[in-house]
């Protein structure tokens, strides 16, 4: 069964709003100048790498920003220029929220369950509601729309889980799947931050109730579905999503010793999976090997782990930043001896890393039957011509530098719309954005 990756395309408004509580990289780089052109081209290069390994690589479109309908609903009257001017003066942080570029992190787009895991033998997807923070919650409607365009002819695309209380559903960033191979029924592990109605001092974004809802709607086998709480220690250290302290692909799972709140519960999960998955390989990274601070700072476990087609080997796609840590270099040198990982690739995605997103954050993973693969909307799948055409559009429309005050300038709105118009024409998607209606 092929694995397919969809990367979030970086928009022309890529900026550092510093909006994400608990995300140390986002907070530390807030309101610094960004480079939308560099960020978008770095994302394209990572997608090319995955495509070059023989994997199917797709993309999600940038979202329209800012959302003027939301501003009108909040009582800002007048034409768009007047509204932009008013909100810039009165509530600049609100403008930052409605100009967020965080939809580029496709791992938060939703949760995917392959048909082999579902009792009705149909693929299921639930777009994330991202309800814990305003700047992310505005993504769910357009993400749902895109997923219907891409996957709607194959399986079930559910509506997002209704907003709960203090936490939401943050998608695949808090979800692990293990199996002997992608085409065999596997085990799904949902990592959460406790009940939606339990408020804690730190932001724990994934609600237990949301995870349960996704699993139930996907009709997963309860005997092969697990729920475990993320460790507060990891969250305090900056692991705002669990994919910063753990990762999994097929029969391999790598996790830090401080990833889960109840290690004995995870030990039980490991034993249950290993009893039914003889080739399961769980690798724990102790604090003696690599301390939690370096795991979070380097985004080592936010690397993208893929299976190399037609082999039993895997490739780990890492952010270049891991090379700044001697303990990590030593651990990586031994990794091929203890795992199925035979190839290491390093990518420069600094623009994303500065906002708190590594290689795994940028991608949404789907495991499809070959018959399902043929039913995907090919308009969202890369080929050599699309790579070149999108790079050309980026060079034409994206700024080299974007400063925080540029969000208050209506010319950025015009440039963004010109790009999105050219993009939808290139892909023959019709009028899908609000400004095109």
- In order, the DSSP letters of 109-156 are SEEEE-GGGBTTS--EEEE---TTSHHHHTTHHHHHHHHHHHHTTTSE
Summarised one tens digit per residue, pLDDT across range 72-85 is 999 999 999 999 99
pLDDT value at position 17?
78
Q: Which residue has the higher pLDDT, 200 or 250?
A: 250
Q: 349 and 362 in contact (C-beta within 8 Å)?
A: yes
Q: Which residue has the tokens 């910063």?
A: 244
Nearest one of 153, 144, 120 to 220, comparing CA atoms: 120
Q: DSSP readout, 48-89? A: HHHHHTT-EEEEEPPPPSS-HHHHHHTT--SSHHHHHHHHHH
**Quick check: is 241 catalytic?**
yes
Q: Are strands 252-256 and 281-285 parallel, antiparallel or unpaired?
A: parallel
Task: Report pLDDT for 24.
Answer: 62
- Confidence band for 431, pLDDT divided at 50, 70 and 90: very high
pLDDT at 181 over 80: yes
CB count within 10 Å of CB 119 equals 10
Q: What number is the average pLDDT over the span 419-431? A: 98
Q: Is residue 363 part of a domain?
A: yes
Closest to 183 (Cα-Cα) out of 1, 365, 371: 1
Strand partners, 307: 314
pLDDT at position 321:
96
Contact status, residue 151 vs residue 376, Cβ threshold 8 Å: yes
Q: Across the beta sheet with 246-249, what order do the strands follow?
A: 246-249, 252-256, 281-285
Is 282 within the bounds of a domain?
A: yes
Q: How many domains does the chain have?
A: 1
**282-334 pLDDT tens trace:** 999 999 999 999 999 999 999 999 999 999 999 999 999 999 999 999 999 99
Does residue 336 register a pLDDT over 80?
A: yes
Q: Which of 283, 282, 281, 293 is nearest to 327 (CA)?
A: 293
**How many whole angstroms separate alpha carbon 123 and alpha carbon 100?**
30
Cα dist. 43→178, 193, 236, 253 in Å?
27, 30, 28, 25
Q: 174 pLDDT exceeds 90?
A: yes
Asked if 144 contacts 160 with a C-beta cutoff of 8 angstroms, the reply is yes
Report residue 240's pLDDT band, with 50, 70 and 90 as the boundaries: confident
Q: In the β-sheet with 124-127, what is the strand arrangement from edge to edge?
A: 110-113, 124-127, 156-157
83 within a domain of the structure (yes/no): no
pLDDT on residue 166? 80
Query: How much is the pTM?
Result: 0.95
| DSSP states along 215-268 | HHHTTB-GGGEEEEEBPHHHHHTT-SSGGGTEEEETTEEEEETTSBS-HHHHHH
| 36/15 Cα distance (integer angstroms) | 7
Q: How many residues does the chain have?
A: 437
Range of the domain at 186: 3-65+100-436
170 is catalytic: yes
User: Has residue 86 been placed in a domain?
Assistant: no
Is residue 93 assigned to a domain?
Answer: no
Alpha carbon distance 351, 37 (integer Å): 10
Model confidence at 26, pLDDT cuts 50, 70, 90, reads: low
Catalytic residue, candidates 124, 144, 218, 241: 241
Q: In this structure, what token pair is assigned to residue 197?
A: 């109605």
Cα 43 to Cα 117: distance, rounded to the nearest angstrom: 30
Arithmetic mean of pLDDT, 202-231: 94
Residue 74 domain-assigned (yes or no): no
Place of tokens 């118009």: 421
Q: Is the pLDDT assigned to residue 205 strictly greater than 90? A: no
What percent of the chain has pLDDT above 90? 88
Q: Is the peptide bond before 111 cis (omega within 30 degrees of 0)?
A: no
Residue 405 located in a structural domain: yes
- Residue 155 has, within 13 A of its CA and on its CB side, a CA count of 29
Structure tokens at 72: 């009108």
> pLDDT value at position 22?
65
Residue 70, Cα to own-chain centre: how many angstroms? Answer: 24
Alpha carbons 25 and 190: distance in angstroms, whole number? 25
pLDDT digit string (tens) for 400-422? 999 999 999 999 999 999 999 99
Q: What pLDDT is recorded for position 355?
A: 83
Among this protein's residues, is 253 annotated catalytic? no
- Which entry of 64, 139, 170, 229 is annotated as an active-site residue? 170
Residue 108, SS3? helix
Could you tell me the CATH number of the domain that includes residue 59?
Answer: 3.75.10.20
pLDDT band at 23 (very low <50, low <70, confident <90, very high): low
CA distance 404 to 209: 37
φ, ψ dihedrals at 259, nearest 5°: -75, -35
Query: Measuring CA to CA, how many Å separate 71 from each of 368, 420, 434?
Result: 39, 21, 14
Average pLDDT over residues 206-227: 97
Answer whether residue 28 is part of any domain: yes
**By C-alpha distance, which of 122, 233, 243, 138 is closest to 189?**
243
Give the rounded distance of the alpha carbon of 229 from its chain centre. 20
Q: Which of 118, 253, 315, 361 is catalytic?
A: 361
Q: What's the chain's average pLDDT?
A: 95
Contact 1, 114 (CB under 8 A): yes
């Amino acid at each position: 069964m092929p694995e397919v990756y969809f990367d979030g395309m970086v928009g022309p408004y890529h900026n550092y709003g510093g909006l994400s509580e608990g995300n140390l990289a986002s907070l530390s780089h807030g309101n610094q100048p960004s480079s939308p052109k560099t960020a978008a081209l770095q994302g394209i290069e990572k997608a090319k790498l995955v495509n070059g390994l023989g994997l199917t690589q797709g993309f999600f479109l940038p979202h329209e920003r800012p959302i003027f309908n939301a501003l009108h609903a909040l009582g800002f009257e007048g034409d768009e220029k007047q509204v932009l001017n008013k909100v810039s003066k009165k509530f600049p942080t609100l403008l930052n929220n409605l100009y967020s570029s965080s939809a580029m992190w496709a791992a938060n787009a939703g949760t995917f369950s392959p048909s082999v895991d579902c009792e009705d033998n149909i693929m299921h997807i639930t777009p994330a509601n991202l309800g814990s923070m305003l700047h992310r919650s505005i993504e769910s409607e357009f993400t749902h729309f895109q997923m219907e365009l891409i996957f709607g002819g194959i399986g079930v695309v559910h509506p997002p889980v209704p907003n709960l209380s203090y936490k939401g559903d943050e998608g695949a960033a808090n979800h692990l799947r293990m199996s002997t191979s992608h085409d065999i029924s596997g085990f799904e592990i949902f990592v959460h931050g406790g009940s939606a109605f339990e408020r804690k001092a730190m932001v724990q974004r994934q609600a237990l109730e949301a995870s349960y809802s996704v699993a139930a709607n996907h009709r997963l086998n309860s005997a092969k579905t697990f729920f475990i709480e993320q460790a507060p220690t990891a969250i305090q250290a900056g692991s705002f999503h669990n994919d910063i302290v753990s990762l999994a692909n097929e029969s391999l799972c790598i996790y830090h010793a401080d990833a889960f709140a109840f290690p004995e519960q995870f030990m039980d999960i490991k034993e249950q999976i290993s009893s039914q998955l003889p080739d399961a390989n769980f690798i724990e990274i102790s604090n003696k090997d690599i301390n939690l601070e370096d795991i979070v700072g380097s985004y080592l476990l936010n690397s993208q782990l893929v299976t190399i087609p037609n082999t039993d080997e895997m490739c780990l796609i890492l952010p270049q930043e891991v090379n700044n840590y001697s303990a990590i270099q030593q651990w990586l040198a031994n990794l091929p001896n203890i795992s199925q990982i035979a190839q290491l690739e390093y990518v420069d995605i600094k623009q994303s890393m500065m906002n708190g997103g590594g290689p795994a954050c940028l991608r949404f993973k789907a495991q499809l039957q070959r018959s399902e693969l043929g039913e995907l909307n090919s308009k969202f799948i890369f080929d050599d011509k699309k790579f070149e055409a999108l790079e050309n559009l980026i060079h034409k429309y994206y700024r080299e530098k974007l400063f925080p005050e540029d969000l208050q300038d209506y010319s950025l709105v015009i440039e963004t719309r010109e790009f999105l118009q050219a993009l939808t024409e290139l892909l023959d998607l019709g009028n899908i954005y609000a400004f095109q209606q």
